Structure 1
Amino acid sequence: MAKIHATALVDPKAQIDEGVEIGPYAVIGPQVRIGAGTRIGPHTVVEGRTTIGRDNHIYQFASIGAMPQDMSHGGEVTELVIGDRNTIREFCTFNTGTFKEQGVTRVGSDNWIMAYVHLAHDVVVGDHCVLANNATLAGHVHVGDWATIGGLTGVHQFVHIGAHAMIGFQGHVAQDVAPYMTVDGNPLTVRAVNLTGLRRRGFSNERIGIIRQMHKLLFRDGLTLEQSVQQIEALKADQAADTVADVQLMLDFLAAAKRGLVR
């Protein structure tokens, strides 16, 4: 059975699975669904049409599923969907989506989200991401799997951050960040390939070598983006399947980029 503190206010319409723990003075709304093994800390508010998966730990004083901070939002019922095994620390604020996109703000699984992180409406965060303290993501931001966003970083609306990218401390991110890259500074600049992150995830020397070639073509050879894309496409020839997949991930990201690349 769920373990709900006597002072918590849980709407009888909320769907609470077995093994859920809800701490003192938490407030759970009628459209909320919480998966088995998830822990909700004291004084946390979970409201709106919010679905939370299994084995998450949401710490005290978080605001999960509040209406979007969008002046055009007319009170439509939109959603927040959170996956499994996420750690969400104190004072985080996650808003529901708007119908400017699909009406859903979405957080994947196995993410480490530190205190005071804000996810605005229609944000999409993948799996295995790290968002450090006070990272602030504006509306419609998309974050790929395994990305790391440094503390006190602000991300402009509609920006896309590629998989395995790393953004340094206090970044001002107003353009898209390519996969596999480390960016830092003010103005933001691509510094290098995120070698530490890739090695921790078991990337082989061959895969890292191809990623380094893509870095050189995009950011060091003085090519136009079109020229870089053509030469990156050519890297797929006679490569192993995982290396081809790495190149294709980059090509797909570049094809979808709309705000220009941080270079």
Structure 2
Amino acid sequence: MMRDEETVIRVSALVRHNMTLLLREPGPLISRLVMPLGFALLMRPLYVAAHGESSGNIQVVTGGLVVFSLLALSIVGNAVFSERVWRTWNRLRASSARPLEILVGKSVPVFGALVCQQVLVLLFGVTLLGMPVAEPVLLCTAVLCWSLALLGLGAALGVVARSLEQMSATYDIGGILLSGLAGAVVPLSMMPEWVRPLAPFSPGHWALQAFNGALTGDAAATVGACGVLLVVAAAGTAVICARLLGGEGRAARL
């Protein structure tokens, strides 16, 4: 029992510390919260004209959500990469906190930020644009699964990148590329035929499938897409464990 209490105390302290670091420089977080709302407002007339009121509202909201949540990977990566820049990772490793506790302490704040971003955009779509929600429970499941996938991808890139410049370029270029392949900016039906087979290689494609399925009532599509997103999250977690928890020597070189 005492050991469990100590774990809770250490994790709580790490969560508070990392939350403070996240809120101390809120610019990136605020921009990722505001930009998808502006995207939805500006692009909505085009989507509605092309797909009708209901479908257009869904596509502009979910498309903007996927685009800017992929760009929000930088928030996740910076939370990990900052420890490498500050040379504090080995200090954390040498503390009484266990590796899993450290990872949980760093993950909870950024996971909360990712969930808040998606909830804000979806509430905006429902309350101001009249976007329908056929399956609220499945929509919440999609939010959680996509957030886990983003957390795994962002943290994995944060431990693999060799420099801040390399990490930033990867997030910016990768975010736009994966968004385009997913059909988040332009629907796949309007894109060149050679692009469409590549869409499933983008995690954003499965996020769109999950969100759109929950909003339109296609439960099978949402469940299947959420399964793929959980696989993506697991793959990212495996990379993190291999790089950060794979041994003292490996951790020391980060």
Fold shared by both chains (TM-score > 0.5): no
Higher relative strand content: 1
- Higher RCO, 1 or 2 (CA under 8 Å, sep at least 6)? 2
TM-score range, shorter chain: under 0.3
